[in-house]
Amino acid sequence: MSDMPLHEAIHTQRAIRQFTEEPVPEEDVQALLDAAVCAPSGGNRQPWHFVVLRDPGLKAKVRELYHRSWNAYKEKVAEMAQTRAEAAATLERWRKNPAGDHFAANLDKVPVFIIPCLDMRALSFGDDPESPSVMTSNSVYASIYPAVQNILLTARARGLGAVLTTLHCRYEDEVKRILGVPAHIRTTCLIPVGHPRAKYGRTRRVPAADRTHKDGWNLSLAASYEPGRGILRVGDRMTKNPVTCSSETLVYDAQAMMREGHFGRLPVVEEGRLVGVVTDRDIRTALLPPEVPKGLKDRFDLLLVRRVKDIMTKSPITVGPDASIEQAADILKSNKVGALPVVEGGWLVGIITRGDVLGGFLDAVGKRRGALRFSLKTSRKPGEGGIVALLRLLEEEGAEVLSVVSDPDSSDPVNYVHYTVRVARGDPKKLIPLLEGKGIPRPEILQEEAGKG
Ligand SMILES: Cc1cc2nc3c(=O)[nH]c(=O)nc-3n(C[C@H](O)[C@H](O)[C@H](O)COP(=O)(O)O)c2cc1C
């Protein structure tokens, strides 16, 4: 089989977590390992071993530990989601796309596991293998991951799917016991390898230019990537890897897919590229021809003869992953559609719905983190506003300001504006006298029931 060009493999190597049951020939596994051992390593010590698992019993035992670790990881994220927006966003993403759960529960069905192992003795020059004195700790793992990347890229180039996983490491001692791996060997990661169940698009990453510091560290560049910055971009709110169909899919099957997933629409994709969208409305309309076509018993037979390409919208309205959610909201509203395929360079990278956009706005105003809201009508004239004084006071009193939204006064929009400030902590009873003491106009205070919504 001829491999794909390196550039294409690099730009389309994705974390594949859904596989078909098609077996992976030994020849392919060998090609992956031959590529692995071409990698660089500290001092060219080549400190690697690869445990290849095909045995269903062994894979099931390892899966059990991976699954346990995944559940522990999820619990930890859920705990953090109480106080941290990033964790809450991750939880929400998992709720919408439970691929991680499915993967953890079915890992052992993937045809092959490759476990790249690191021989600490090979790095140690005969001294303490637990902490080789000649290698810095960075060099230790840096002596295996280039080999891992060679495996991932070669898998991609040969049409196989793979994903680098490390969750088993929480129970590494147990994994080692199951596989008979000696103490001085570390199981650095686990790479399930199989045939991908679906076609995946290109990798989506922050552009290199945004992370490139020329002639020394550029502080403003680093600051622009503080966590949470992306909360209002389409790429951060969309569902990645949405369920899709092809233009040859029978309308009957498309309808079944929509029913099963509770979706109102499916992006239609050929080779990862968006070619159309089919909605449940298109299907209902397709069932309403003036007459039942000749040769068919009733209109429902149409579902079994028509294909998606016959009824889909061919050039659907789309949005890019870097667009703001305000822009997505505007497009959704002005075109009266319920969702937009998210496309980058012709590749389908996700789908964003009205609900996702609404969730973005809720997070942006801090609805899920703070139940206390101050609304202040103030003059627009500089220095007469009171908003700055209000914000300063809130900050001094330890109330975390989550958002400030401005809204022109409906009766006098030129001179007056309403500011709504939402905070995460703060006691209104204590704050009101303090505000009055500083001559700040009394805001309207709304204390919603905490945790609702
Ligand atoms: C150090 C490391 C550990 C990872 N561990 C896991 C894991 O335990 N389970 C998993 O499903 N994916 C794991 N991943 C895969 C990442 O989630 C994946 O590379 C990332 O989300 C990018 O996916 P994409 O290439 O499809 O965009 C790991 C990746 C790295 C580099």
> Are 282 and 310 contacting, i.e. CB atoms less than 8 angstroms apart?
no
Q: Where are the domains of the chain?
A: 6-194, 232-354, 366-447
CATH code assigned to 232-354: 3.10.580.10
pLDDT of residue 172 exceeding 60: yes
Instruction: Sort strands 416-423 and 401-408 into parallel, antiparallel or unpaired.
Output: antiparallel
Cβ of 203 closer than 6 Å to ligand 1, yes or no, is: yes
Q: Which atom of ligand 1 is nearest to the CA of 69?
A: 8
Q: Which CATH number fits domain 6-194: 3.40.109.10, 1.10.10.10, 3.30.450.40, 3.10.20.30?
A: 3.40.109.10
The highest-confidence range among 128-142, 227-241, 276-290, by mean pLDDT, is: 276-290
β partners of residue 447: 372
Give the CA angle between residues 332, 335, 340 to the nearest 5°.
45
What does the pLDDT read at residue 171?
Answer: 97
Residue bearing the CA closest to ligand 1, atom 4? 165
- Kindly give the distance from the C-alpha atom of residue 369 to the centroid of ligand 1, in angstroms, as a whole number: 28
Q: Is the CB of 166 under 6 A from ligand 1?
A: yes
Q: What does the pLDDT read at residue 229?
A: 46
Per-residue confidence (pLDDT) for residue 453, from 0 to 100: 43
Helices (H), ranges, 142-275: 145-157, 172-179, 219-223, 234-237, 251-261
132 Cα to the center of ligand 1, angstroms: 28
Look at ligand 1, atom 30, and give the residue with the nearest C-alpha: 164
Decide if 6-194 and 232-354 have a common fold: no
How would residue 45 be classed by pLDDT, with cut points 50, 70 and 90? Answer: very high
Select from 145, 164, 167, 187 the residue to mutate for testing ligand 1; criterion: most ligand atoms less than 8 Å from CB.
164
Q: How far apart (Å, rounded) are the C-alpha atoms in residues 124 and 130? A: 8
- Is pLDDT of 118 > 90? yes
Please state, in angstroms and as integers, the Cα–Cα distance from residue 91 to each residue in 87, 88, 96, 243, following that order: 6, 5, 9, 20
Q: Is the pLDDT of residue 8 over 60?
A: yes
Ligand 1 centroid, distance to 15 Cα (angstroms): 6
Q: Which ligand 1 atom minimizes the distance to the CA of 104?
A: 11
Range in 49-58, 104-113, 158-167, 350-359 with the lowest mean pLDDT: 350-359
Give the whole-angstrom CA distance, residue 9 versus residue 155. 9
How many whole angstroms from 17 Cα to the centroid of ligand 1?
10
DSSP assignment letter at 438: T
List all residues 6 or more positions away from 3 whose beta carbon is below 8 Å from its beta carbon. Answer: 9, 154, 157, 158
Closest CA to 349 of 208, 157, 200: 200
Q: How far is the CA of 281 from the centre of ligand 1 (A)?
A: 37
Q: What local confidence, expressed as pLDDT, does residue 292 receive? A: 67
Tell me which of 218 and 51 has the higher pLDDT: 51
Name the DSSP class of 233: B
Nearest-CA residue for ligand 1 atom 11 is 165
Closest CA to 148 of 33, 283, 29, 307: 33
Average pLDDT over residues 163-179: 97
What is the pLDDT averaged over residues 145-152?
98
* 366-447 CATH: 3.30.70.260
Ligand 1 pocket member 206 (CB < 6 A)? no
Is the pTM value of this prediction over 0.75? no
Q: Whose CA is nearest to atom 23 of ligand 1?
A: 15
* Average pLDDT score over residue span 59-69: 98
- Kindly give the residue spans of alpha helices, DSSP state H, lying in 197-233: 219-223
Most confident stretch, 180-194, 244-258, 432-446: 180-194
Rounded average pLDDT over 239-264: 89
| Contacts with 24 (C-beta within 8 Å, 6 or more apart), sequence order | 111, 112, 160, 193, 194, 195
| pLDDT attached to residue 96 | 81
